[in-house]
């Protein structure tokens, strides 16, 4: 048996998330069907983690096993992308790995980014790929709020009610907030995240940036561990799985 590691890019707008579900189109099901067809062997993809409906990826990581070694990886990438690109999915890399490699359990860190278009006019080119906010955001107070989230904490406030993780404790290693022209980018770095954690944190940071909350209220709600006090999660259209580090 041979194991291969793949890096995937996709626009999640027209998919019901990455992971296969009983109903709806998913990225995993789509890729598996194309790979299985080309390799003439049933292939199951194991990803580093699921992304929800509408969420995008520039560096989703996954692996699959096949019985025969791939002789020409570049040719396979081209063949796969001929079919995948029609649905705005791309295989960026394929690498041979040791059978002990696991795309999920071998991961040391995951990086998510969230994009906000902060201007009066709505997006055209980036439609469904950024969150549009008209009111100018105060990045300084957003950065102060982000600093309160760093380290190891109970993130129950930002945890979805249907989250399957056994513990709400997570360690946020880094949060970077930058602005280039009209786009605000927030990057989160951690070994793992709770379901809806990133979007929920962004939702709260946005209320800070809009000055609807002050820093004291932000910190009080975070420490409360009460989901009902959390801001509405930011839209999935601005969220990207940026990179998985091994």
Residues with catalytic roles: 52
Distance between CA atoms of residues 234 and 143, nearest Å: 17
Distance between CA atoms of residues 57 and 242, nearest Å: 6
Distance between CA atoms of residues 161 and 164, nearest Å: 9
Q: Which residues of 58-71 are buried (b: 16+ CB within 10 A; e: fewer)?
A: bbbbbbbebeeeee
Tell me the sheet residues that pair with 131. Answer: 116
User: Cβ neighbours of residue 198 under 8 Å, at least 6 residues apart?
Assistant: 112, 114, 188, 239
Distance between CA atoms of residues 187 and 69, nearest Å: 37
Residue 241 to residues 82, 133, 154, 207, 227: CA-CA distances in angstroms? 23, 21, 22, 23, 23
């Amino acid at each position: 048996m041979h194991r291969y590691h793949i890096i995937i890019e996709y626009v999640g707008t027209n998919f019901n998330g990455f992971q296969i579900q009983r109903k709806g189109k998913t990225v995993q099901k789509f890729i598996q069907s194309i790979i299985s067809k080309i390799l003439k062997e049933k292939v199951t993809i194991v990803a580093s983690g699921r992304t929800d409906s509408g969420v995008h990826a520039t560096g989703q990581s996954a692996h699959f096993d096949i019985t025969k070694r791939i002789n020409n990886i570049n040719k396979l990438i081209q063949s796969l992308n001929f079919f995948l690109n029609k649905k705005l999915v791309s295989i960026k890399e394929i690498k041979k790995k040791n059978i002990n490699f696991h795309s999920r359990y071998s991961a040391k860190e995951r990086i998510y980014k969230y994009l906000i278009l902060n201007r009066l006019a709505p997006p055209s080119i980036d439609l469904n790929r950024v969150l549009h906010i008209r009111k100018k955001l105060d990045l300084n107070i957003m950065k102060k709020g982000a600093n309160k989230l760093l380290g190891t904490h109970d993130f129950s406030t930002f945890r979805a009610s249907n989250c399957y993780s056994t513990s709400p404790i997570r360690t946020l290693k880094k949060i970077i907030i930058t602005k280039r022209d009209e786009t605000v980018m927030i990057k989160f770095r951690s070994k793992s995240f709770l379901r809806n954690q990133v979007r929920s944190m962004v939702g709260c940071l946005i209320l800070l940036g809009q000055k609807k909350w002050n820093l004291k209220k932000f910190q009080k709600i975070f420490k409360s561990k009460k989901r009902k006090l959390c801001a509405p999660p930011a839209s999935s259209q601005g969220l990207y799985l940026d990179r998985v580090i091994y």
